[in-house]
Amino acid sequence: SEKVSGNIQTALDLVSGKNISGTGYGNGFEEGLKLENIGKVEEKKPAFVISGEGNVFVNTGTLAKTQRAEKGAVIVNKGKIIFTGNYSQRIDNKGYNYGIIANNGQFGQYIVGTGYNYGIIINNAKYGQHIGNKGYNYGIIANNDSYGQNIGNNGIGYNYGIIKNAKDYGQTINGQATIGYNYGIVANNGNYGQNIISNGIGYNYGIINNQKNYGQYIENSKGFNYGVIENKGTYGQYIVSGNSYNYGIIANEGEYGICNKKGVAINYGVIKNSSNNIFSGNVINNGVIIFDSNETSLNNIGTGENNGVVLNNDYSFSNVTYRKEKVNKDVINLNDVSSPSIDG
């Protein structure tokens, strides 16, 4: 969508050093960029720490230690953090990254306050952005391992940028009262674009484009897709337990747009896989199914009710039978003069 394209261009502008005014660059951008050093920075190995209400620590060079904000203070990174351990930025209150975080350990940004990434996070290990309270990504997270944005108990996380891990778990939403939103792009080289578990709630309004399987993985949780899921592998939405709702587009290159094991799964959107295995398990279709190749029988849309529209790959109405009835029997074809009129 236009909004997603704009978010990605914003991230690219930020990391390429373009002169930007802050207009349209997301919540908190200008506020953090204009901050200057206030107060005394203390060295508490292995970190440089700022504390105290209103104090600010701005890094503009190369920092080989943790940058930490405690007790009402704020940290800003406009340079490079290349710490060899964990926790490049540890944000107990508020923190911003406009530069590059490239530590050899875990946790590019560790957030228990409020944190923003407008730059690049490229850890050699896991957890680009770990959120225990509130966190935003408007930039690029590209770990050499897994867990681009990891949202823990009672946390809220937003991705407006790009998450492209070398392995799995683009955005994980894990725990009671935990919510995650993707408005950008999640494109891991592995599995699990949005990993929604343990009573979490996940929303995709952007694009999930993993190289492998599980666009949205839902276990004892709720998942909503209003955007596009286009994995290279199988399972656009995979529901172990819990509830899933698709209002967008699922167009995997592999099989099964939606697989429901023991949960509730409803499609209100469009499913178009590169195979004709559309659903697995009990999936209620109130939307549109588009076959990759024209079918003469319908054996691969699971065991749920079909209340929607079924189309051939040329977008003509399918004539196949499902549960001893023709699909599309209640659909009015406005191009067919033999169809009943809209007013009866």
Summarize pLDDT for 50-102 with one digit per residue, the tens: 999 999 999 988 999 999 999 899 999 988 999 888 999 999 999 999 889 99
Q: How far is CA 257 from CA 160, 176, 241, 310, in A?
A: 24, 27, 16, 14
- Calculate mean pLDDT across residues 259-277: 92
pTM of the model: 0.92
Sign of CA dihedral 302, 308, 312, 315: negative
* Per-residue pLDDT, 21: 63
* Per-residue pLDDT, 3: 57
* Per-residue pLDDT, 299: 62
Comparing 31 with 204, which gets the higher pLDDT? Answer: 204
pLDDT band at 267; cut points 50, 70, 90: very high
Comparing 344 with 282, which gets the higher pLDDT? Answer: 282
Comparing 81 with 33, which gets the higher pLDDT? Answer: 81
pLDDT band at 338; cut points 50, 70, 90: low
> pLDDT for 3-25, tens place per residue?
556 656 666 676 677 776 665 66
- Percentage of residues of the chain with pLDDT beyond 70: 88
- Calculate mean pLDDT across residues 24-39: 82
pLDDT band at 319; cut points 50, 70, 90: confident
- Calculate mean pLDDT across residues 102-116: 94
* Per-residue pLDDT, 313: 86
Asked if residue 216 has pLDDT above 90, the reply is yes
* Per-residue pLDDT, 279: 92
* Per-residue pLDDT, 91: 98
Comparing 223 with 329, which gets the higher pLDDT? Answer: 223
Asked if residue 245 has pLDDT above 90, the reply is yes
The mean of the pLDDT values for the chain is 89
